[in-house]
Structure 1
Amino acid sequence: MSSPKFLPVETLNSLVLGGLKEPVVFKQYLRNDKSSKNLESWQMLSWNIDKWADVLQDNKLKVRLGHRKSESSEPQWEGTCYSSHMTFNELFTWSKGKSKCHTSCGKELSSEYYWAYYDYVYMKDEINLDVLKQKVSWDIFGFPKRGANDSSIWIGTTNAHTPCHKDTYGCNLVAQVYGNKQWTLFPPDQTQCLYPTRIPYEESSIYSKIDFTNLDITRFPKMINSTPLVVTLQPGDVLFVPKHWWHFVENLNFSISINTWIELPSDTEDQLKEALVVHQVGSACQATDSTEIISSILNPNMLHIATMTASEIFDCVQDRIEQYRKSQDSHRTKPYSDLSSKELVSNIHEHETSIVDWVQLSSCNVERIKQLTFSEYLSLRKPDNSLIKAANENLSKIGVDTCAINLKLLLSSLTDPRVVDVLTEV
C-alpha cells in the first residue's frame, strides 16, 4: 500500500495566504511534519492522559463552567458562565461526570450538569505551559517564525463550547492534538442569517445571538436559510478557517487543540472598524454608573474599556486611522508571509479569485467540508434528553432593566457592521 501524499510547504503557505476561499481540513498533516527544525514538533500527539498530566503537573488552570443543557435561547457568554481553578487531572476527572467543585463566587457545581473549559489561553502568557511550548511549530505551513508564542490552547470536557462568532482579523489554523471537536461553519455572505451582535463586546469577535446548543427557530427564523459546513476533527488534523467565516465549536469528548491566527493585509481596515466600535462602546459605558450594565455590555477581558477617558478612546481611533492610511499608501501586492517571495509557489493576493484543483488537493489529504441544508444540520443536533437538571437547582435570573435594554438597543444600532462599514468609508 502506497504511503499518503502531502502537499509541500510552499503550496500550503500559498493556500493559507490566499489560495483557499473556504474551510478545509489538512488530514493528519501534523503527523507528517518533517519540515520543522524542531524535532519535538507536535510530539504531544503521542501523549496519553497520564503524560499530559505529568507535563502540566499540579498547576491550577482557570476554567469556565457552563450548563451542559441550557434552558435559555441565549448563548452562554463568558460573562454569564461560572469560573473555577482545576489541575489538568481534576479537569480530566471532571469530564467523567462524577466531580464537584466550588466556583470563584463560592457556589458548588456538579460535573453531571456543567462542562468545563480552559479556553482561549495565549500560551506565551502561561508559565505553566513551558514544556508544552517546545512542541508547537507551524513550519509545515510555511511559518518558521511562528510557534507557541503565537498560539492559543483550548482544553475542555464534553459539551464545552464557544458561542458562534466570526473573527474580524486574519485567518485561522487549528491543530487538533487530543480527542474530537466538532466545527460548524458558515460563509460570510450568510451573516444576516446568524443575527450578529457586538454585545457582549470583544475586540476582533462578532458574536451571533443564536445559542447553537438550544436552537430557537421561532426567535431566529432566518437561520433556516443558512447552509452550514460541519466537520469533526481527529488528532493530527489541521483545520483552515478563512477570514470572516462564522463558526460554532463544541467538544464531542475530552479535547485539546492549539490554534494560531495568521495576519492578513486587510486586517488594518478591520482594526480601524474595531476602533470605531470601541468608540461607541466606550461612550455607552461612560453613560452609566451601573457595573451590572457594563458587565453585560463588555466581555470580561474587555472591562478596561469602561475605565478609558473620552480622550483615550478618541486617540485609539486616531491611531487606527493613521495605521490604515499607511497601509493604503504602501500598495502591498502580496500577503504577509514568514517566507520570502521567492519561496512562495505563487504570489496570490488575498482579494484575488484563485482556481483550486480540488482533485489534486484531495489526493494530497486535503479534505473539502460538505455543505448541509439547515434541515440536515438539525438532524445532527438531536437533543440529549438524558441530561436532566436537578430539581432543586436554582437558576439565576436577571431582572428586566429598562435602562439596560434601551442602552443595548442603541449600542446594537451604532455598532451594526453595516453602520461601521459606512463610517470607515467616510
Structure 2
Amino acid sequence: MSSPDATKPFSPTEAQRILGNLNQPAVFLDMTPDWPVRQWTAERLTGSLGGKTIRFRLGRKDETHAPLFETQCSYLEANLEQFLGWTSGCSGADVGAFSHYPHSEYWAYADYKYIALLFQETPSMFQDVKWSDFGFEGRNGKESTLWIGTQGANTPCHLDSYGCNLVLQVQGRKRWHLFPPEDTANMYPTRIPYEESSIFSQVDVVYPNLGRFPAFRGARAHSVTLLPGQVLFVPRHWWHYVESVDPLTVSVNSWIEMEVDDEARVGEAVTKAVVCAMKMTPSDNSDDQWLNPTEVESVSSHDENMQWLNLAVQAFIQKQRSSRCRDGAASPRASHPAKRLKKSAGEAQMPSTVSFGPHLIPVTETQVEHLPDHTEALPGNCTGCTVSPIPNPDQCSAALQADGTSEEEREEPEHTSITTNDLLECLLHPHVISRVTQLLLEKQNRTQRTTQASL
C-alpha cells in the first residue's frame, strides 16, 4: 500500500475506507495535484499519440427529446490533430473524415479508449495515473480508459451491471446526472440496443417526454458539474447520463469490478441468450440495429450462449458450495482492496458513515434540468404505455384518468401490434431477469442436491 501523503486530505487507507462506505455519488477534491495525467490535455495528447487514428462517435446537436443511442450515430476514424483542427473551424483535407460533418451541427467524442492500447508503445505513461492514492495499489493507467469530446457530446443514460467507477476530470467540465438504483422502474430500462453489462434508459433525462414516460416524474436526479482535478465516485448500479460542457473535455475513467458477482454474471448470460435468440431469428420486425457497435464482434450462436450460461451457473454453485464448506464461518476479509468495496443488498440500505467536508462533497438530489418545459400532454390512447416500467400495472389506467375523464367516457384504444422489441423490453426488464436468475439457480441447486442424495 502506498505510504500516506501529508499533502493529500486522505491517505490511501482512508480513501479506501470512504469508498467502502459510500452509498451515493461523491466528489473527491485535492487528491490529484501531483498526478502527471493532469497534463493530458487534448493538445498535449496530440503530440503523444502522433498520427495514430482512433474512432470517433458523432451525433447531431438537435434536441430530439429521445436518447441518441450509439446505433443511431455516425462513426469515423481520425487522429487527434484532425479532431482539434475540426473543433477550431478548419475544413478540407486538414480535418480528414471530419470534413463531412459541420462542426456547428455535430458533436464528437472518442469514448472510453483503453490507455493500455493507446500508449502500448510508451507504457511509462501508465504511471501518470495514480489510483493507488485511493487505496488501489498497483492500479494505474493500464486499467483505465480515456474520454475526449466536444461541447454537447453525451453518453446515453445507462447503468453498469458490474462494478463502480472512479472518474478524473482532466480538461474542461462534464455535467453528470445520476439516479439511484431504486429508481430503475422510473427510468424505463431497455436492453435494445444490446451491450453486455449496460442497461439503457429510454428517457432523455434532460429533455424528457413525460407524456410517454410519466413515471420519470418520480426519478430523483443527483447532478454535478465535474471540474478539472476532481474525481467522481459512481457507485454500482447508479444510472448516469454524462454531457460535455466545454468546447474540449478530457477525462480518465477506471471501472472497478468490486468482486466477481456470479449471480450478476448469470443474469447477463440469460439476457444475452434471450436477446440473441430473438433478434437473430429472421422476422419482419427484427431487422433494426439492435446491437451496439462495441458488441459486433461478441455476437455468438445460441449454443455458445447456452454454454456461457452453464459456465456462469456452475461458477455460482461452486462458490456457494465453498461457502458452505467453511461451516458457516465468516469468510476472512479479502486482501485485494477492490474486493472490499462489495456491499450486500442489506448493507446498501444502511446509512453512510462517511463524514463529508471540504475535500469530499456528496452529489445531492436536484431537479432535472428543463423538466417542466418539455412535458407533453398524456396521449388519449396511452401510446407508449406498452413500455411502462415493471411493476406498475395500474400506470396506464392512472395516466388515462389524469384529466379527470372517466374510463366509460373514453373510446377504446386501437390495438397496436406488439413487436419483438416490445416483448424483449418486458422479458429483459432488470426485475424480470433477476427473478429468472433466482429461479434458474434454485432449480440447479435442487437438481444437484437430488443427484448427490442418490449417490
1:351-382 Cα deviation digits (max 9, x unpaired)? 22665455x4314x0011121134xx327999
Contact 1:181/1:255 (8 A) holds in 2: yes
Distance 1:162 1:176 in 2: 15
Q: Quick one: higher RCO (CA 8 Å, sep 6+), 1 or 2?
A: 1
1:263-305 Cα deviation digits (max 9, x unpaired)? 2236221111000001101211331278x94552211122245
Change (3 A) 1:199 1:24: same
Q: CA deviation at 1:329?
A: 3.4
* Unmatched tracts of structure 2, length 5 or more: 1-5, 324-329, 375-415, 440-455
Distance 1:48 1:103 in 2: 22
Contact 2:132/2:139 (8 A) holds in 1: yes
1:158-211 Cα deviation digits (max 9, x unpaired)? 101100000010111111111111111000111111111010010110000012
Distance 2:237 2:142 in 1: 23
Contact 1:98/1:110 (8 A) holds in 2: no
Distance 2:58 2:181 in 1: 30
The residue that corresponds to 1:388 in the other structure is none
1:35-90 Cα deviation digits (max 9, x unpaired)? xxxxxxx31313555423211222212100001123x3331111211111222122
Q: What one-letter code is carried by the residue in structure 1 that aligns with 2:309?
A: V
* Alignment partner of 1:165 is 2:165: no
| 1:144 aligns with one of 130, 134, 137 | 137
2:165 is paired with a residue whose SS is strand
Aligned length in residues: 380
| 1:416 aligns with one of 402, 405, 429 | 429
Contact 1:150/1:260 (8 A) holds in 2: yes
**TM-score normalised by L of structure 1:** 0.80
Matches within 5 A, 1:208-219: 208-212=201-205, 214-219=207-212
| 1:10 aligns with one of 8, 13, 23 | 13
* Alignment partner of 1:407 is 2:420: yes
Distance 2:219 2:274 in 1: 30
* Alignment partner of 1:361 is 2:364: no
The residue that corresponds to 1:338 in the other structure is 336
Distance 1:194 1:280 in 2: 22
Q: CA deviation at 1:334?
A: 6.7
The residue that corresponds to 1:252 in the other structure is 245
Q: What one-letter code is carried by the residue in structure 1 that aligns with 2:168?
A: A
Identity in percent: 31
* Alignment partner of 1:296 is 2:289: yes
* Alignment partner of 1:89 is 2:102: no
Q: What one-letter code is carried by the residue in structure 1 that aligns with 2:130?
A: S
The residue that corresponds to 1:130 in the other structure is 122
| 2:48 aligns with one of 42, 55, 59 | 55
The residue that corresponds to 1:276 in the other structure is 270
**Bigger CA drift: 75-84 or 281-290?**
281-290
Distance 2:332 2:417 in 1: 46
1:230 is paired with a residue whose SS is strand
1:222 is paired with a residue whose SS is helix
Distance 1:48 1:322 in 2: 46
Q: What one-letter code is carried by the residue in structure 1 that aligns with 2:336?
A: D
Q: What one-letter code is carried by the residue in structure 1 that aligns with 2:48?
A: V
Q: CA deviation at 1:31?
A: 1.3
The residue that corresponds to 2:444 in the other structure is none
Contact 1:171/1:241 (8 A) holds in 2: yes
1:277 is paired with a residue whose SS is helix
* Unmatched tracts of structure 1, length 5 or more: 33-41, 342-346, 383-402
Distance 1:154 1:63 in 2: 10
* Alignment partner of 1:324 is 2:289: no
Distance 1:281 1:61 in 2: 30
Distance 1:90 1:335 in 2: 50
| 1:201 aligns with one of 188, 194, 197 | 194
* Alignment partner of 1:30 is 2:32: yes
The residue that corresponds to 2:403 in the other structure is none
Q: What one-letter code is carried by the residue in structure 2 that aligns with 1:230?
A: S
Distance 1:140 1:127 in 2: 22
Contact 2:192/2:291 (8 A) holds in 1: yes
Q: CA deviation at 1:127?
A: 4.4
CA RMSD between the two structures:
3.0
**Bigger CA drift: 331-340 or 167-176?**
331-340
**TM-score normalised by L of structure 2:** 0.76
1:253-272 Cα deviation digits (max 9, x unpaired)? 11111111112236221111
Change (3 A) 1:119 1:239: same
Change (3 A) 1:31 1:284: same
